[in-house]
Structure 1
Amino acid sequence: MTRAPRSTVPVDEASYDRLRLSQWLAGRARGDGMSRRGVLTLLAAGTAALALPAPVRAAAATSPGIVKPLPDEWFTLRGTNAETKWEALRGTGYLTPADRFFVRNHTSTPVVDTTTWRLRVWGSGLRGGTGLDDAVEFGLDDLRALPPVEHTAFVECAGNGRSFYTSQQGQSVSGTAWTLGAVGVARWRGARLSDVLRRAGITRHAVDVMPRGLDDEYVTGGVGLGRVRRPLPVAKALDDVILAYEMNGEPLPYDHGRPVRVLVPSWAGISSVKWVGDIEVSAEPLYSPWNTDFYRLFGPGFPEAGSAPLTRQTLKSAFELEAGAAFPAGVRSVLHGRSWSGAGGVRRVEVSTDGGATWRRAGLRDVPRRDGWVRWSVPWRPRTPGPAVLLARATDTAGRTQPDEAVFNTQGYFFDAVVRHPVVVAGRDVAGGDRPGRSMYDADH
């Protein structure tokens, strides 16, 4: 087994994004199953700022459309999605267990027969310009026969943290009201996408590579958008992208892409298409609703037609702690959390226990790691009973530090500001003993 290397193929994401945006606006990009006029109609609708729906309460242990159990103590259900509760990650180690990993579904989880599953690779960017009907096919055994690679990386929804645009910044946005639990880190094992593309006959004329999932067609506003699909620049596809068939040493669970999913390290989660069924390799630029009207930034701070399609994730920090947790006054506690960045490893984390008046360096339990997160901790002995606000801010190896306020966009993507975490400091009785409800953070774990 080998580790996934960094390719020597340059990946100039900014240049690629500018080029594809100009091509799409000029009508020179081809869409799959949808007219450009249809995309423009959805684009206009998508730029309207809608009121963020109220958070959905934690629901029962199962949900229609999601296969795995969803215990109330681990998940909050949000429509077709399940958000991980941060307090459920206490003591789980560096990797997020598959049973606690968040679920982001546009429709519902398909249960695909692994024995009959085939990955079809096709398009004008292959030798002979094959169509879907005469695609080059790979079965699961074919992928397993290729040199395997392992990569530990986070997957995160682009809307993670979206609810804080409203609760912290007073701004109305559209989309699922995630807090910070739409992220997880796993050890992924699979075949290099580059190996598959080369065996399929990719040519030097290829410019875009577009995986498509096997989940049901996504319908919104009465418009059928087809199955989830999103193009990648060919340089990225040939770089560090994996066709993963294992997660944390086990076959992929159904909710996380079984039998095979795409893994695009550090990029917005929509790029890591689950249940991949076919991959189009195109000699002309491609678009889909997931890189035109969705997963771009719209709003007063962006061009009228929107930003370039989203690629690398932003910078975030979270406490492994439920909102409103109680801590006893005068007793030493230890605060724990995790920070991560799409631009590189996190090298410093600072924590404030007084609402931002003062800051202290947290101790890091992990070295900065590309595509991963760091776990951290800091001791705290609260003195005064009453409400308190905890803050954590990270700085990554690219020099970015979490800001006090995120740049507004109407769809609520890429929230990166420091999140205010409310807690309560409980008083002590006359005898000096702790009041009931002592915090679970009274010792290291």
Structure 2
Amino acid sequence: MRLSRYFLPTIKENPSEAQVVSHRLMLRSGMILQSSAGIYSWLPLGTRVLKNVERIIRQEQNRAGAYEVIMPTIQSADLWMESGRYNAYGDEMLRIKDRQERDMLYSPTAEEVVTDIGRKFMKSYRDLPQMLYQINWKFRDEIRPRFGVMRGREFLMKDCYSFDLNFEDAQKSYRTMMEAYMRTFTRLGLKAVPVRASSGPIGGDMSHEFQILANTGESLIYYDADLEKLMETETFDIEHLMGLYAADEEMHDAKNCPVPQDRLKSKRGIEVGHVFYLGTKYSDPLKAHIIDKGGQNITVHMGCYGIGVSRLVAAIIEASHDDVGIVWPASVAPFDVALLNLKPDDEKCTKASDDLYLKLQQHCLDVLYDDRSERSGVKFATHDLIGLPWQIRFGSRSLESNTYELKNRRTGEVLENVSWDNLIDAIKGPHKSCCS
């Protein structure tokens, strides 16, 4: 992508309305634009990141055995009246009427709709277990939307729902999704602590919030240091994971904490996911029944598993930035590498930069090519702001020596006189295969 043609409306100064780092940097880097209170347009750079986050989440949901569906964002109030939640949900639900004066709503969540799917098509124990998920927009009319997409009214969410024969099978689905969540956050370059959460009126202890460690987090959490070791891997002992202590400030009991002081850590966190055993809360009132092996009519056990996809983009920035801009993990970065032509008025340098741009693309790299007629300092500032993992700075010295200057955005290290082979090895790492 040539930056001279790309739609990237960056801003030099910090917007006055932005209170947190992620909101400031998303506005400044041209990722989003506020449409109305708590509602944002996602611009090209932001959309690319959002799609990358979405792709990883989808891959791990599929790997866990869940099947993707798309449920309506505009729902009939009838289902919510059947479950008993229509009047109980509160003012966060946007209630509307269609032209026939039927009560409708903009979906804040989808338990009723997915339970309706289950009760119509899952009739026998042979139809279970099942897990259905979607990645879809939702709306909750927050009384005070703030912090950009971190606490907006309209948001992109992954919500998954499990259907099982009994509590024991529901536990298996729960553990499967716990493992999928840990893999997901690890691939996103994040440290996610599963914090035991209150199950409210449902009872039991199968409810966890996933908190991303970030200095600017809203919550203070306490956790066993052994959790950090688990965060570094993509293979998890779920029983061990669920047995380790983690609690937020409200739930933490300093006097009775089971973790020795030398292993107890405390950091701030941002909630980005929640897994929850629902039991028969929705399947009972909506009559989601199946025939078991003994021929008995029984109620399905359910679980729900949510990830705030758009919120995750902001959380990644909160956890990964510096004084000059965003520092994207390679897995979600909008482009793999930035190519900066430092001598755009030099015909030979421009020809060599153009050739390098094509050559990088032939090696399966997604390149943002800064071919603008701007000073080097302006280009450096732009690319430090948008935070791509690597910057190739091509100027007169590169042209003369046939080598490259390469900056690692995360470490800030600038390597000079890098050969072509070493350049590709550094950017692509161990994944050197080329696209077909």
TM over 0.5: no
- TM-score w.r.t. the length of structure 2 is 0.24
